[in-house]
Each structure stands twice: as C-alpha cells, then as structure tokens.
C-alpha cells in the first residue's frame, strides 16, 4: 500500500518537473475603447492609472502594439490569431440581431489552453457571435463565462439598447454561462472584478489558470446614459475640466482599481510569481461620434473605426515576475494576432501553423527586434484598406473624415492642479504588493520610462484624407501623427505596398454592405433578454454538444 503511494508521489514529482503541473498561469485583461492618452504611463497626469502603470514600469510596456480598430474584428483576431478580414469578421461590429460569428472551423485561444490542461474562464465581453448557443464562449473553449455577449451594456442595469427601423428595443445582456443573470446588482466593473477575484480564490492550483477579464469599461453605455460611474468616483475626478471626460476618468479609475484587485488576489493565492499578465485595449478610444466615450488618443491621429494610428495603435503591456529584473520598453512591432503564438510559447507549448500570428515571446523577453513587419486593416464594409509595412503605412479608400483627425487636445484641461502622480503610485495596491515582494521601483524616477509620442504639428492644416483611388502614405516611425503624405516622394514604396495590400485583399472573406437584423431576436419575445434566438432552428447541433 505504502509503496504504491511512493510510486504515485514520485510520478507526481516527475510530472511537475516535466512542467505539466507548473505551466504559468495567464491572466489577460482587456479594456474596451480605452484611448492612447488615457493611461498615465503614456505621460498624462490628468487620468491616473497607477496600478496599470506599475505593471508597465516593472514589466514590459509595448510601444508599438497594434490591434484592429473595432471591437468584433480585434477580438476575433485575438481569439483566432488570424486577421479579421480572413474570417469575415472585419468592419462594423456585430449587432445583436445579426446571425454571424467566428467560423466554427476556427480553434480559439481558450481551446488551446484547455487542451493543455488549463482551467479556462471568461469574465466580461465576448462579441464574436451569440445568435446560436454553439457560438458562445462555453461552447468554444471556456469552462465558464460570466458577462455580456455583445458590444456593451448599461453599467448598472446590464441592458443593451438598439435603435431599429421601427424604434428602440432593449434587453438584458448579462449571463452566467447560458442563464440570464437577473439576480446580480452593482457597478459592472466591480461585478466583473469580483467574479475574477472569486475565480482566482477558488482555483485549484493543481491546474494552471487561463483567465480572460474582458471589461465593459470604459466603453460608452446606451444612448441617453452613455457615461456612467458612481457619483463619489466622479467627484474624486473634479480636476478634469470637461464634464464628460470627468465621468470617463472615473470609469478608467475603476478599471485601474480592478487591476490592483486582481494583482492582490493573485498574491494572496501565492500564484502571482507564476502568472503572466497582459493588459491591452481592444482598439483606440472614440472621442466623438457614435458611442463616443470622451476617450483621447492624443496626439495620435484618428479614432476607433479608423485605420489611422489612433484607431489601431493601442495600450499594451506584458508582465511576469521573470521580467521585473530588466527594465525596458519593447519598441518592436506587435499585432493582436500575435498573442496566441506568443502566449503558447510563453507557457512552453507548441504553436499551430496555419495562423497569421507570429511568436514574439523570445523577441519581447530578450528585448530583440520584432519578426513582424506587416499588418492590415481591410474593411470592405466601409470601403477602405490599409497596410503597415516596416516603417510605412498606406491607406486607400473611403475613411470617414470625422474619425480621421487629431482629437482629444480639447479634453486635456485641468482645473487647478493635476492630482499628485507619485502619491497615487505609492498608494496603489500594486505598489504595496510589489514593495512587499522586493520588486523595487524608484518612484522619483518613473517618468523617464514614460512612452511619449512626439509630433511635428506644422502640417495639421492639410492632412491627407484617403479617398477611392487616392492614396496616402505615411512614415509612422518618423511621423507618428500621420501628417505628411509621402506618396509622390516614394512611388516605389507605394507600388510595393499596394501590391502586398491587393494580394492580401484576395484572401479576404467578403462582407455584405448592409446589416440584417432578424426580427425574431427582439428581446420582448424572450422575456426582455438578448438570447441565442436561432437555437430552435439549430437544435440538432446543440443537442450533440
Ligand atoms: C519564469 O522562468 C522560469 C525559469 O525559466 C520558468 O520555469 C517559469 O515558468 C517562468 N515563469 C513565468 C510566469 O513565465
Ligand atoms: C536577437 O536577434 C538576432 C538576429 O535575429 C539573433 O541573432 C540573436 O540571437 C537574438 N538575440 C537573442 C538574445 O535572442
Ligand atoms: C518581412 O517578414 C517576412 C516574414 O517574417 C520576411 O520573409 C521578409 O523578408 C520581411 N521583409 C522585410 C522587408 O523585412
Ligand atoms: C531615484 O531616482 C532619483 C531621480 O533620478 C535619484 O536621484 C535617486 O538616487 C534614485 N534613488 C535610488 C535609490 O536609486
Ligand atoms: C497624396 O500624394 C499623392 C502623390 O502626390 C497624391 O496623388 C494624392 O492625391 C495625395 N493624397 C491626398 C489625399 O492628398
Ligand atoms: C423573466 O424576467 C424577469 C425579470 O424581468 C425575471 O425575474 C424572470 O426570472 C425571467 N423569467 C425567466 C423564465 O427567465
């Protein structure tokens, strides 16, 4: 009997040495529509994000992290490691009565982790298909899901409102797995944080953890009440001059607090040292226009929905205890499609072949050059296409002018003095935990690690606006604010890039130019919830699950 135990324990020790029990945990945090200038490690003292900044200062902030410019496309690319246009997921995001999803032939990021023995959890937003149950997170690799399935929800009521041709329709979009979560109450950023904290607390450490925390914040909520935060939190931001941005600032503060809570719980659980943390925004902020949240991408040009850098060059960082000894900002080119192979490599797994993503783990962790030199923003729904190739970006087609200018400067106003940054850092949960663990940081010195974008503002008068058959070429390294059209100066570069872009467009799955809304999805037909309304026509497949 005893010898059997000894053999069993020896086998366990062997397995753990081989790594099957010690793969690092991964916590992937996504902010929704957070702007470039809305984290303080990018230089601003207006909105302070001390917890996120502590991860950036002691981990590796990503100076040239690119995503797609809209939620559904960027999340599709994250989950599949393929550009959105090769999935038919490019362009305008999924609306709630639209029967579309990431094709079921795709293997998603959580499925890879599940195959490796990870416990996989999604807290928060999905937005890559929900018309049928088999499109939902718990059918596509996540053990559990608590959150919203579509674009955003009201921060207190969890309703999503859409305007249809015959008027407004609204329904609940908060689910615990496949059940509407009527029983919960509270501010959604805190709800999601508590859920993530409970998952960490109750996690059995015999298995590694893959946790995706995909916040509603700081996306705008429904028309009529777009910006929402607890009143005392808004009051605490009263140095922010713009009344709307003051609320936005409180929304971001709650998001930053959430990061601190997650770090705290990982430390309490004694798994922080073995956890890789990623923090990213899904796309740029949307200062004005549809679903405006008063975010700012300043000084970058353009907003969410546009292929200018304000739409696609976003916040990103990676943290792990192993990375806290050498402090640097990684300046290499990385795209949202790269996370899948990069994270699989980070946990010692092999990388699938038929993907667009490139493994950048060694490049990032050894502060080496990037192996990526190209990315695309192909959107046949709106009718534009863009390519980044090495230092250049070429844009052609119809980009809405209103999403393509420099916005956000007018929102920078501060009443009186900016809040003391160093004090905020010192008071943050993350700083205190790092101090207790001996992860040193010299707070007097942190500003030298700020990522700053410097621009020549002389040409702002005559910006190149692409149109059908009118190309704009920019050197985004030397001119990160995309002010100078270089197409006539470098016809060879234009020709090369145009050729690459046209070849890539051939790979794309075309999208219809109109959005079909299925009247059967109407929430009033489903007890005022947004459901997987096509399950009845889809029964056979669901039953086989
Ligand atoms: C840190 O490095 C050690 C040694 O290479 C490795 O075993 C461990 O998995 C790494 N931890 C993380 C979180 O990557
Ligand atoms: C950095 O990249 C160069 C060129 O690809 C390669 O020779 C070198 O080994 C890399 N260094 C590290 C530390 O990975
Ligand atoms: C771009 O990257 C690809 C694949 O990594 C490589 O084959 C190609 O030579 C690179 N081109 C340039 C101009 O760097
Ligand atoms: C912290 O940074 C300040 C400013 O650069 C410097 O004067 C000081 O010596 C640093 N302190 C330590 C302990 O490195
Ligand atoms: C950019 O420059 C090219 C070449 O001079 C020109 O054909 C194009 O019209 C310019 N684009 C715009 C929008 O001005
Ligand atoms: C219908 O909605 C109400 C809230 O409006 C909820 O309390 C009730 O449980 C729901 N019924 C079902 C069957 O889900």
Decide: 350 and 344 in contact? Cβ < 8 Å. Answer: yes
- 393 vs 401, 472, 484, CA distance in Å? 17, 8, 11
373 lines ligand 3 (CB under 6 A): yes
**Minimal-distance CA residue to ligand 3 atom 9:** 373
**Minimal-distance CA residue to ligand 3 atom 1:** 373
- Find, among 207, 204, 146, the residue nearest to 178 by Cα: 146
What pLDDT score was predicted for residue 15? 52
Establish if 414 belongs to a structural domain: yes
198 lines ligand 1 (CB under 6 A): no
Which of the ligands is closest to the CA of residue 348? 1
Q: In CATH, what number is assigned to the domain containing residue 256?
A: 3.40.720.10
- Structure token pair of residue 377: 């923003």
Establish if 506 belongs to a structural domain: no
User: For the chain, how many structural domains are there in total?
Assistant: 1
Establish if 516 belongs to a structural domain: no
What pLDDT score was predicted for residue 449? 80
What pLDDT score was predicted for residue 336? 98
User: What's the gap between Cα 369 and its chain centre?
Assistant: 23
**Nearest-angstrom CA–CA distance, 6 and 27:** 35
Establish if 115 belongs to a structural domain: yes
Domain that holds residue 413: 24-90+106-124+181-443
276: β partners? 26
What pLDDT score was predicted for residue 390? 97
- 227 vs 29, 98, 194, 220, 243, CA distance in Å? 21, 26, 22, 6, 10
- Find, among 216, 154, 408, 153, the residue nearest to 294 by Cα: 408
What is the best residue among 335, 373, 387, 499 to mutate for testing ligand 3's pocket, by most ligand atoms within 8 Å of CB?
Answer: 373
**Minimal-distance CA residue to ligand 1 atom 1:** 322
What is the CB neighbour count within 10 angstroms for residue 181?
18
Distance 373 CA to ligand 3 centre (A): 6
Establish if 456 belongs to a structural domain: no
| 330 Cβ contact partners less than 8 Å away, ≥ 6 residues apart | 60, 61, 62, 63, 363, 364, 367
Establish if 4 belongs to a structural domain: no
**Nearest-angstrom CA–CA distance, 94 and 99:** 9
Establish if 112 belongs to a structural domain: yes
Residues with catalytic roles: 71, 127
**Nearest-angstrom CA–CA distance, 31 and 143:** 22
Establish if 254 belongs to a structural domain: yes
145: β partners? 122
**Minimal-distance CA residue to ligand 5 atom 5:** 488
Split the chain (545 residues) into runs of 10 and give each run's mean pLDDT.
59 50 92 98 95 98 98 98 98 96 98 98 98 98 98 98 96 98 98 98 97 98 97 98 98 98 98 98 96 97 98 98 96 98 98 98 98 98 97 95 93 96 97 97 89 75 86 96 95 98 97 92 98 82 47
Which of the ligands is closest to the CA of residue 182? 6
């Amino acid at each position: 009997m005893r010898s059997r135990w000894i053999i069993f324990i020896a086998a366990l020790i062997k397995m753990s040495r081989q790594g099957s029990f010690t793969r690092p945990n991964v916590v992937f945090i996504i902010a929704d529509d957070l702007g470039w200038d809305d984290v303080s490690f990018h230089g601003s003292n207006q909105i302070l994000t001390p917890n996120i900044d502590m991860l950036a200062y002691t981990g590796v902030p990503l100076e040239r992290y690119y995503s797609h410019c809209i939620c559904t496309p960027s999340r599709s690319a994250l989950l599949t490691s393929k550009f959105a246009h090769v999935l038919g997921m490019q362009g305008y995001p999924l609306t709630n009565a639209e029967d579309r999803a990431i094709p079921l032939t795709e293997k998603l990021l959580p499925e890879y982790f599940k195959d490796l023995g990870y416990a996989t959890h999604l807290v928060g937003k999905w937005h890559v298909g929900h018309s049928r149950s088999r499109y939902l997170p718990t059918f596509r690799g996540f053990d559990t899901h608590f959150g919203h399935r579509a674009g955003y929800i009201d921060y207190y009521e969890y309703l999503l409102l859409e305007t249809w041709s015959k008027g407004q329709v609204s329904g609940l979009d908060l689910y615990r797995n496949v059940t509407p979560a009527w029983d919960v109450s509270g501010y959604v950023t805190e709800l999601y944080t508590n859920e993530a904290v409970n998952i960490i607390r109750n996690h059995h450490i015999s298995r590694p953890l893959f946790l995706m925390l995909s916040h509603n914040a700081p996306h705008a909520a429904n028309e009529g009440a777009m910006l929402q935060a607890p009143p005392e939190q808004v009051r605490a931001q009263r140095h922010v001059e713009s009344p709307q941005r003051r609320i936005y600032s409180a929304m971001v503060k709650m998001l930053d607090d959430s990061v601190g809570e997650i770090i705290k719980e990982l430390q309490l659980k004694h798994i922080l040292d073995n956890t890789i943390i990623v923090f990213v925004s899904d796309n740029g902020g949307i200062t004005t226009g549809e679903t405006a949240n008063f975010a700012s991408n300043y000084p970058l040009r353009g907003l969410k929905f546009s292929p200018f850098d304000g739409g696609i060059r976003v916040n990103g960082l990676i943290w792990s205890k192993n990375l806290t000894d050498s402090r640097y900002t990684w300046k290499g080119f990385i795209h949202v499609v790269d996370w899948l192979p990069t994270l699989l490599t980070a946990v010692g797994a092999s990388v699938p072949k038929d993907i667009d993503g490139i493994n950048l783990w060694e490049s990032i962790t050894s502060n080496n050059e990037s192996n990526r030199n190209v990315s695309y923003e192909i959107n046949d729904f709106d009718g534009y296409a863009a390519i980044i190739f090495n230092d250049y970006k070429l844009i052609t087609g119809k980009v809405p002018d209103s999403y393509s200018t420099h916005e956000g400067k007018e929102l920078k106003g501060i009443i009186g003095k900016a809040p003391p940054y160093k004090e905020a850092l010192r008071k943050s949960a993350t700083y205190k935990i790092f101090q207790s663990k001996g992860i040193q940081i010299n707070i007097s010195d942190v500003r030298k690690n700020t990522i700053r974008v410097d621009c020549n503002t002389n040409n702002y008068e005559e910006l190149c606006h692409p149109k059908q058959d009118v190309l704009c070429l920019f050197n985004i390294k030397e001119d990160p604010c995309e002010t100078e059209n270089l197409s006539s100066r470098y016809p060879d570069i234009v020709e090369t890039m145009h050729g690459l872009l046209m070849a890539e467009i051939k790979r794309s799955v075309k999208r219809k130019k109109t959005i079909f809304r299925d009247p059967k999805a109407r929430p009033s037909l489903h007890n005022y919830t947004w459901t997987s309304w096509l399950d009845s026509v889809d029964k056979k497949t669901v039953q086989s699950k």
